Amino acid sequence: MRRWALVLIGLGVGLFAGSQLSASRAHTTALWTGVAATVVGLVMFAASGPTPPEEAADGAEPRPGPPGLGSRVEQILRLAEEQAAAHLREAEHSARRVQARVEAGLWLVLREADDGGRYEVARLESRADADAVVAALETRGHLQRYSVAPAGS
């Protein structure tokens, strides 16, 4: 019913506008037919009320948009959740590896190059030994910067 109401509104506005745009303005029949069609269309549109939402089979809220769009969006979201879970598992695995290396006491002495890269200089079993190596390298007057980091980071 809403579709017919919109057709009548469009037809009525078209007839009304066409009669007003004519040079002779003698088309009173078109003018009144356009007004009547517009009024009838508006009344039908108002009487039809809002369209009831489609009820989902599983009791969930209805999905807006064209048919099939909701299922496609659900597939995309499910894939995104699976990928996020895979990334999370990988990050947790890497964190456990780093933690194990830190707990094992492996420390790296890193040289920071001019190009921004960091290169391993030494791998030591205690933080104190790594700090001593950095202090020794810096007292030699090298232009590079040195830092200490846990192995695996």
Q: Is the pLDDT of residue 87 over 80?
A: yes
Nearest alpha-carbon partner for 132 in 115, 146, 119: 146
Neighbours of 11 (CB within 10 A): 16
Mean pLDDT value across residues 72-88: 90
Burial status of residue 55 (CB atoms within 10 A of its CB: 0-12, 13-18, 19 or more): exposed
Q: Which residues contact 34 (CB under 8 A, 6 or more apart)?
A: 11, 12, 13, 14, 15, 16, 17, 18, 19
Q: Which pTM was predicted?
A: 0.33
pLDDT of residue 82: 93
Give per-residue pLDDT as tens, 108-120.
Answer: 889 888 888 888 8
pLDDT of residue 85: 93
Sheet holding 107-112, edge to edge: 118-124, 107-112, 145-150
The better pLDDT of the pair 104, 55 is held by 104
Average pLDDT score over the chain = 75
Give per-residue pLDDT as tens, 14-71.
Answer: 766 666 666 555 566 666 666 776 777 677 667 666 655 554 455 566 555 566 667 8
pLDDT of residue 84: 93
Hey, what are 128's tokens? 């104190």
Rounded to an integer, what distance in angstroms lies between the CA atom of residue 97 and that of residue 152?
7
pLDDT of residue 28: 65
pLDDT of residue 56: 47
The better pLDDT of the pair 14, 106 is held by 106
